Each structure stands twice: as structure tokens, then as C-alpha cells.
Structure 1
Amino acid sequence: MADPLTPQISDRICKHMNEDHSDSVLLYAQTFGKTPEAEAAVLNSIDNEGMNLVATVDGKEVPVRVTFDHSLQDSEDAHHTLIAMVKQAKK
């Protein structure tokens, strides 16, 4: 089993996603956060049930909560779920 989703693991995932996959973070906000008009987004935290983002819409920051389709078991499950969500959003 991989690491449980502790605040430290959440911080690590968020840092990686924001630095290396900002396009995916924006897709999460636009598609799953129901803010298609978002111009940018930052992933602030991830937990077993979903993720908290801040989207930029018309120059204003808007909090966005995206709920997962299942409760995450660990960091490996989070990794696979985030990848699957990007693939789904790109369809």
C-alpha cells in the first residue's frame, strides 16, 4: 500500500501538479469544477474525497471543490485517479 493521504502528501501532490501539470489542474477546474470559463487554476489540497482548487475567472479568484467518484485509498490511488480524470476531461 502506498502512503495515506496526509497533509504532507497532499502538499507534495499539489506542488508537483501546480509546477509540472498546471494545464491538468486547469482542466480539473473547468471540467469537474464546473467553471469552464476559468483562465487558470491552482490546486490547494487533496483529500480522500476530493480536491480544493482556486480558479481565476474574469480576474477574480473563485474557490472550487471537485469531488472524486470514489474515496481514495492512498497516494497511489490519487495518482491513478488524477491521470484518469485528465484523460476523461480531454475526451
Structure 2
Amino acid sequence: MSDNFSAEVSSRICQHMNEDHSSAVGIYVQAFGGLMEATSAKMLAIDSQGMDLMAQVSGEDVPVRINFDHELKDSEDAHQTLIAMVKQARVKSK
């Protein structure tokens, strides 16, 4: 994990995403993880290169690593990137 993504920063982002944006986390595993059959997902960790998620598929936990299209600079870059990814996934699904 880069210095910009300490365990505390990763934990804070994951907690926020899981509590306030769980549907977005599900969209990430479906659109970028290729698990269209996932019924739910949880963000486990985030770093400057990507995010680690756990998806539920047919009642089983499936780990998913999604790499970003660029190296994130800081938590604000993470915020903007995660928003852009949800928008991109929603456009693809139409």
C-alpha cells in the first residue's frame, strides 16, 4: 500500500462505501469484475493500484481484485475515481 493509502485511509474508505454506497460496490464487481451473477459485494481494501472486494455469488464468497486505470494520488483521487467508475458502469449497462 502506498503512503497515501495507509490502513486507516483504506479502512475509512471501505467503511464509507460499504455503509453508504453498497449498491456501487455491487456495480463494481458486476461491471469491472465480470461477476454479473453477484448478488452483493463488500469492499475489503483499497490502495493506489486498485481495490479488493468480496462478492456473493450463489451463496459463496468470491474474492475480486479490480485495478484502476491510473495510480491514485490520494483519497480525493480515490473518491473521484470511484464516482467515475460507477457512472461508466451505469452507461455500459444501458
TM-score range, shorter chain: over 0.9
Structure 2 length as normaliser, TM-score? Answer: 0.92
Partner of 1:51: 51
Paired with 1:54 and 1:48, the residues of 2 have a C-alpha distance of 18
Structure with bigger RCO (C-alpha 8 Å, 6+ apart) = 1
Structure 2 stretches lacking a partner, 5+ long:
none
Partner of 2:34: 34
Partner of 2:23: 23
Report the aligned-residue RMSD.
1.0
- Runs of 4+ in structure 1 deviating by more than 6 angstroms, as ranges, are none
- Aligned residue pair count: 89
User: 1:7 offset after TM fit, Å?
Assistant: 1.1
Structure 1 stretches lacking a partner, 5+ long:
none
Partner of 2:83: 83
Structure 1 length as normaliser, TM-score? Answer: 0.95
Among all aligned residue pairs of Structure 1 and Structure 2, give the percentage whose two residues are the same amino acid.
Answer: 57
